[in-house]
Structure 1
């Protein structure tokens, strides 16, 4: 039935998301408020019911914790062997689960951390790989292990939460089964020893299992389960094009920095976004002229941003001097409804309005959610610690500049009465700021104040000031010096950053230039490996897929790099999953290589690996951005090399198809015509026999003989061309009597073409040519045969002569001639020009064979047209002459 024109249509994005899940397994999470509510029991109970219905159910890992009821339910279910590990219960054998590939796999304890050396650091990543492989997985999770709620649970229960799971795992589950139990009943189970042993149960009752704590945890679990049910309802409505209660459309913008407050802001925003079912963006702002943050501040900011990504946020970065305008501009562009920001409480010098206050004043219709916490009471951020050389320069430069300025002032004042020597010290402050930075400018201002007061203001030698007006002048000088020093220091920072950006741009330009000069995939890969090694100072490997489709090491710099089996597994993971693997990632983090896929659209062109050291920690953010830019250029270069290779292969294939078509066309004509003549003559002779006149029978036999000779020449030409193409023609180099070869070729042509008139003119004396006599005779005959086909019975002339550079043989016909653009094409295989009557003559192999034979003898063959009187064609053969040696 046809859909009505105005009927609602399904959401395309929802349908694409549904299609993407078709080949993946389904994840079911049994969610509970605390240990002991019965999550594992509920999983096993349902699994036994499915087993009775014939479903292939396997226990990957179940921890019963000594509970007899749970252990009894596990009886009868196939159980995978466990790997040895620090846990007394063992570890999940991921490879065995992938190999067994059951319809349903039960893996308990979703928040578990794997031991060092495992493929993934967390069990939820193991489960993600199982889901990608198409295996349905059931698992269990307590609400306190949800990452966005871990700090809140710690405050409620007074117990730190060590194992966490990203919120995106819960959001990506296909189904959530809430296992609920009233707090009183759970406490009764604990007291009866059904959860922990007796001593452990008493401690749990005093801490985590208090009624107030359990009630709060129960509310959190109920809310999260309800939120997931609401998400599933909205997905079904979108997929089915059903008008219904859609999401509210709330959008959050979260502002973070490198301070300790940002982590609390992100967690609060994650809970707020989850409660509102809202999309949220995390914005990191920096000032272009500010001092670069310390390593600790940078690490703290990057960890905060990574945490926000695990919570499901989108990350944005921006550098601007006006934070308020940048925040509001992004908020209006992204239709933000709420801005979340932290407030630093307890400021010692509240000289200007804070960023939250400015946002509240200018936000207009956008709500501003201000978060405060214990971290916000820190009044000052610890400044970046200067290196030893920077400290020395910050102390020496101000001392030298102020000292030199004082000596200059003393010298000038002895010569000229200057009214305002303070301007000289202002120059010292500016010079210190430019040369050594902000701290040096501040120190130079203080030293300038002391030197100017002690040396030039009466009474000299003391810090007292006799004239009151000098106090105002000195105060103005200090203010101007500090302001100028700050501006000069900012200028220096800007220049340093501009220089860094210019160096990075030059490096990228140099890389692009090297890649553009590389020809072929091998050179491109070698260029990528060597340049990345030079850019980061780390050993680099590049892997691409070979002809069998397997990922293999294609280039390394230094060349002695090699990858073990574990590193190759991480590289294959990066290629298959299109994500980073190896060093400090979610897949095989113990591998000393960081593998990044080289992507072009949805195509993986290769994998790049950088050798890393665990003691150095994660790579700086600027290195990551540089690596991203280099990988993008590498993808373009590899894509270009791939397209060039495919274009070349396509061109070769087209030429092969043309050659095959020409060969088939020639075979169909040049074989069928003589065969038809022979068959007709033989049939006539057989049917009529003696009733034919003797003269007619002789004509038929002559026709058979002629057509058979034609077939023989055609097959011979094909055989000769095949030998030439295969490089099997081995021409002898011996003295040849040119006069005898020409006479033999002419006589052979007269026998084949009785009406052909051939004129010869050979110089006297005629030197011997260095050639193969049989092959040279074949060349001259092919040219004569070609002249007969296109020139008819018109006379053909042959002349030969000796020259200083060798022997020249020329064959000239009186045909229509050849256009200049076809003088080289006539030597191509199967190329045939039309005769005077418009029909194509010959097979198109004679001249190609002639040139191939002449080249094999070390000579040349070319065509000239017109030969004389604007008609005819001349074929010129040049061979080496035999040098006469003295006796």
Structure 2
């Protein structure tokens, strides 16, 4: 019977057998998988097809995309090619794979390239992988090619990596159902070289691809995805094989290690051994510690050692986790099942004979119950040491006496209460009140006091309330039984109460730690400057630990004290030496460590992903931190390191942005100066040369034309230099606008007269509302603003007249300069007031310097006004520049500035 049961348990997986039978009736799907275009998938597929053809196999080229690669196209010679189906779509002819012709031909193997392809609208299937599925159902073997980015589950990851959205996608089940996945791999450097040589895309497309998709980082990430997905597919095939052949699991096709550690010194050896195992097996490993769920931390040195072991595991590449539980074996096995671990690594020492009689070691208990899992025991060189003797026997004796005295006092108080009640009312169950003494002792002092109170209560109850009273003898047998029941109930109640007391203490410690970390996280979330992060760190640590805290950061290559609490803290020579050691060696130094222990501070390096960003010193005063304080310290320092690193990177980014902006400004200035000076200077130089060499041979009209050119270009140079000077004044903050009373009408007319002299061929129309109020401002600056706006409209406003409007709107005077040119795109409206910004090509004149509008904005804002651009202005074209100035009450007999 046992053999038949074992046979039924070891039978093959029915689902796996059905899947195998279904595959045998279908064609075989072979996918040539690559990380990116150009790695050689199609080339490898056609090379294999030629070998099959040369061996006499029946193979057909259903569809292959060569993308203009000559070496790939040459492989098609001599192999049967299926004609493509031509489809008329939107005035174009599209060539698609002819599924019906392939089914009618029914070759043994067909090559259909581009698995992730969308078919033309009138095709039978919307996607090519559906065409291939129909071929497979017909018993035809299919070879196809696929890039890893087209898998549906990876499309968002690839888009995040490359910045290029993936339009063509296929379900992951298509690759999972493939009978064979061949990885076609090429190092990213070689692929980039092929791209440069034009072997991937045509030259025009290659340039665009190199600028967007084909970057070394993108290709490396895609290669990693392709390798991992191929390995996963091979692992799935192995699992399918094991299921089909009734081979029992767990199957070590993908190893996962669970490493169990504790606060003992052996744990470091366990972690290092597990690291070597994981490296050799190429396995994921998790380091976990099982901690009592209802017990407060007592061994501070062990807790610190455990934290150091966790940090070691993290440096070696492990995932770490702390688990709370009452039964260590249950928790380990539960965690192993949840994490799909295949091996458990644990430390164990040889136990001496007396201890083996009373308790089993954790490895022995684990091996007894870990069915189907491998247990790797890392042993120490020495035997398990006996429990250490109390470090301070006097303190222990005092504590015992204190607990016993408290229990005796509680018992005496309850006895007096019971005797008083017995005089008033006869209680048949007077023993219940003694539970108050047990509960009070357990809550006040713990388990030992509760046991002592239970014993004292039993004696007191017997002496005062069980006949014959005032003796310790018991007359009735049932009273003996009742006394023992009371004693057992008292001890059980005391134990449970003591346990609840421990749980409340642990919960309180965790709540304090959690609240402190929460408060600190809130502080950091609203902090971006390094100084703010530093002061938030020292104040938080001092408040949480009630110790002196010092934080040191590198400054110009030297480690300096940046903040401390109390603020007047000073570091001595030994303190600074320990701090420098911690910073340079990336390990703790100072008090309580093996390096420079004479310092009163314990210095801990602040490590971020970009290295050590600083050092934190905690004053020890001969007292080490307990476990909860240590975890809080490490958590705060980890957050602080990341915040300081973020603040530093933010500062560097701003500096780099400022440097880039300055470089851009200098480049734009040099380009503008070289162009805008060179053009008029060339005209002036040419005119002067012509007058000097041929002036006496020219007629008067020609000489006048040359003189006019010199005059115009000289005026243009003067305006350009004036703009540069004005821009410099604005950026330096030296523009001081007058606060005179200005008549807008006079300023507009003066600006129009000046513009008509500068642009004689341009028509300007002016519409001024009657009785415009005076404004506060500078008539010279306002005139320059209007001239710059008219100059801009002359360049870009087309042939229509420029219109200037002035009117009063409520408590503002509004000036508008309108042109009827092409207008300004909406995206450029916010940029036209930036230095050197030019919006396209002007109409019929040399491009401007890009300074006119920024100068106009600077002058207007200096006078307390506003300026903005609107486009289109009228009839869906043109631009309107709007100036607004506030209207103030004009005092009587005010003289208007002209």
Q: TM-score, normalised by structure 1?
A: 0.59
Alignment of 1:527 onto 2:536: yes
The secondary structure found in structure 2 opposite 1:825 is coil
Aligned equivalents of 1:631, 1:867: Cα separation in 2: 59
One of 458, 462, 476 as aligned partner of 2:485: 476
Per mean C-alpha deviation after superposition, the further-off stretch among 551-560 and 857-866 is: 857-866
Alignment of 1:765 onto 2:771: yes
Q: Give 1:744-755 correspondences, 5 Å limit.
A: 744-755=750-761
Deviation at 1:372, TM superposition (A): 8.3
One of 837, 843, 849 as aligned partner of 1:843: 849
Judge conservation of contact 1:399–1:447 (CA < 8 Å) in 2. Answer: no
Q: Give 1:265-664 correspondences, 5 Å limit.
A: 287-290=292-295, 293=298, 298=300, 321-322=326-327, 339-343=348-352, 345=354, 376=386, 385=395, 395-396=405-406, 399-400=409-410, 403=413, 407=417, 422=431, 425-426=434-435, 429-430=438-439, 432-546=441-555, 548-601=556-609, 603-613=611-621, 616-664=622-670
Deviation at 1:676, TM superposition (A): 3.8
Q: Which residue number in structure 1 is paired with residue 727 of structure 2?
A: 721
Aligned equivalents of 2:375, 2:884: Cα separation in 1: 92
Aligned equivalents of 2:716, 2:269: Cα separation in 1: 94
Q: 1:373 to 1:339 in 2, by over 3 A?
A: closer
Deviation at 1:401, TM superposition (A): 7.6
Deviation at 1:789, TM superposition (A): 1.3
Q: 1:354 to 1:861 in 2, by over 3 A?
A: closer
Judge conservation of contact 1:433–1:486 (CA < 8 Å) in 2. Answer: yes
Aligned equivalents of 2:288, 2:485: Cα separation in 1: 40
- Cα deviation per residue 1:504-525 (whole Å; 9 max; x = unaligned)? 1221222222112212111111
Aligned equivalents of 1:552, 1:379: Cα separation in 2: 45
Q: Which residue number in structure 2 is paired with residue 154 of structure 1?
A: none
Q: 1:811 to 1:663 in 2, by over 3 A?
A: same
One of 790, 793, 805 as aligned partner of 2:796: 790
The secondary structure found in structure 2 opposite 1:800 is strand
Q: 1:372 to 1:670 in 2, by over 3 A?
A: closer
Aligned equivalents of 2:680, 2:866: Cα separation in 1: 33
Judge conservation of contact 1:749–1:785 (CA < 8 Å) in 2. Answer: yes
Judge conservation of contact 2:344–2:375 (CA < 8 Å) in 1. Answer: no
Judge conservation of contact 1:791–1:813 (CA < 8 Å) in 2. Answer: yes
The secondary structure found in structure 2 opposite 1:785 is helix
Q: 1:734 to 1:844 in 2, by over 3 A?
A: same
Aligned equivalents of 1:397, 1:771: Cα separation in 2: 91
Judge conservation of contact 1:723–1:729 (CA < 8 Å) in 2. Answer: yes
Alignment of 1:777 onto 2:783: yes
Deviation at 1:482, TM superposition (A): 1.3
Task: Give the aligned CA root-mean-square deviation in angstroms.
Answer: 4.9
The secondary structure found in structure 1 opposite 2:832 is helix
Q: 1:773 to 1:653 in 2, by over 3 A?
A: same
Deviation at 1:345, TM superposition (A): 4.6
Aligned equivalents of 2:759, 2:889: Cα separation in 1: 37
The secondary structure found in structure 2 opposite 1:756 is coil
- Cα deviation per residue 1:707-738 (whole Å; 9 max; x = unaligned)? 22222212221221122111122222222333
Aligned equivalents of 1:594, 1:550: Cα separation in 2: 19
The secondary structure found in structure 2 opposite 1:711 is helix
The secondary structure found in structure 1 opposite 2:540 is helix
Aligned equivalents of 1:873, 1:382: Cα separation in 2: 90
Q: 1:378 to 1:705 in 2, by over 3 A?
A: closer
Judge conservation of contact 1:818–1:865 (CA < 8 Å) in 2. Answer: yes
The secondary structure found in structure 1 opposite 2:714 is helix
Q: Give 1:215-234 correspondences, 5 Å limit.
A: none
Judge conservation of contact 1:735–1:769 (CA < 8 Å) in 2. Answer: yes
In structure 1, list runs of 5 or more residues that go unmatched: 1-252, 270-278
Deviation at 1:671, TM superposition (A): 3.3
Q: 1:304 to 1:440 in 2, by over 3 A?
A: same
The secondary structure found in structure 1 opposite 2:890 is coil
In structure 2, list runs of 5 or more residues that go unmatched: 1-258, 271-279, 281-286, 894-898
Judge conservation of contact 1:583–1:592 (CA < 8 Å) in 2. Answer: yes
Aligned pairs, number: 613
Judge conservation of contact 1:833–1:841 (CA < 8 Å) in 2. Answer: no
Aligned equivalents of 2:585, 2:388: Cα separation in 1: 43
Aligned equivalents of 1:499, 1:522: Cα separation in 2: 32
The secondary structure found in structure 2 opposite 1:826 is coil
Q: 1:254 to 1:779 in 2, by over 3 A?
A: closer
Judge conservation of contact 1:798–1:811 (CA < 8 Å) in 2. Answer: yes
Q: 1:391 to 1:623 in 2, by over 3 A?
A: farther
Judge conservation of contact 2:296–2:506 (CA < 8 Å) in 1. Answer: no
Aligned equivalents of 2:470, 2:346: Cα separation in 1: 65
The secondary structure found in structure 2 opposite 1:568 is helix
Q: 1:388 to 1:699 in 2, by over 3 A?
A: farther
Q: 1:355 to 1:795 in 2, by over 3 A?
A: closer
Judge conservation of contact 1:402–1:425 (CA < 8 Å) in 2. Answer: no
Aligned equivalents of 1:750, 1:267: Cα separation in 2: 88
Aligned equivalents of 2:399, 2:627: Cα separation in 1: 25
Q: 1:268 to 1:855 in 2, by over 3 A?
A: closer
Deviation at 1:846, TM superposition (A): 0.7
One of 674, 677, 680 as aligned partner of 2:680: 674
Q: Which residue number in structure 1 is paired with residue 202 of structure 2?
A: none
